[in-house]
Structure 1
């Protein structure tokens, strides 16, 4: 991780050096700069300065102590300046990192969308080198286009 970029992202998220346990580029299609924080409350307390982190996809993850059947809390801040409620590509990249380093078990549940009032649960399973991401979905908008 480039030290200047990491410092910029920490500033944009109002984090000190000691707040970040680890940082890693993760990539499962779109690339994300992922930060591991100490606990769920630190992730939920973030108030990103989107102007400061503009142009960079930033994901943040922390262990939850198993609250509500989730092992990790995740937040995704897009390069376009908004928070994504549930993000498969980020969760897949984080899963490769956390399971590959032994931080996470080969199967776990991540919660995402909490701050946005969403109850997203992402089910992660790693089998050898394959990572599987799943979850339940709700159709919010349905339509047809005739050309």
Structure 2
């Protein structure tokens, strides 16, 4: 899990409101990622991609669930500095 300061940093960097992020976690498959579960896919698609590393994270991966019945179940976006 990410602490509140990391989540607040990401909300500002991606231009998200405070209700957009459900939770966040650090992931590591080589470079360290910050994964963010957003309230819905629309917010994930509207997130402003950062143009530089944020808070020491090389990559950011927002995830947002689609509405019930829509395929796929979620949309995943990634941004690179």
Q: TM-score range by the shorter chain?
A: 0.7 to 0.9
C-alpha distance in 1 between matches for 2:46 and 2:17: 14
State the aligned residue count: 78
Deviations 1:15-45 (A, max 9, x none): 1222111111122333211111111111111
Q: How high is the TM-score relative to the length of structure 1?
A: 0.46
Which structure carries more helix by proportion? 1
2:66 counterpart of 1:50 = no
- 1:52: how far off? 6.9
Note the C-alpha offset of 1:54: 7.2
- Segments of structure 1 that go 5 or more residues without pairing to the other structure are 82-147
Residue aligning to 2:66: 64
2:76 is aligned with 1:74: yes
**What is the root-mean-square deviation in Å for CA atoms of aligned residues?**
2.0
State the distance in 2 between where 1:6 and 1:54 align. Answer: 10
- Computing the radius of gyration from Cα coordinates, the structure with the larger value is 1
Whole-Å separation in 2 of the counterparts to 1:9 and 1:40: 17
Is residue 6 from structure 1 mapped to residue 7 from structure 2 by the alignment? yes
Relative contact order higher in (CA < 8 Å, ≥ 6 apart): 2
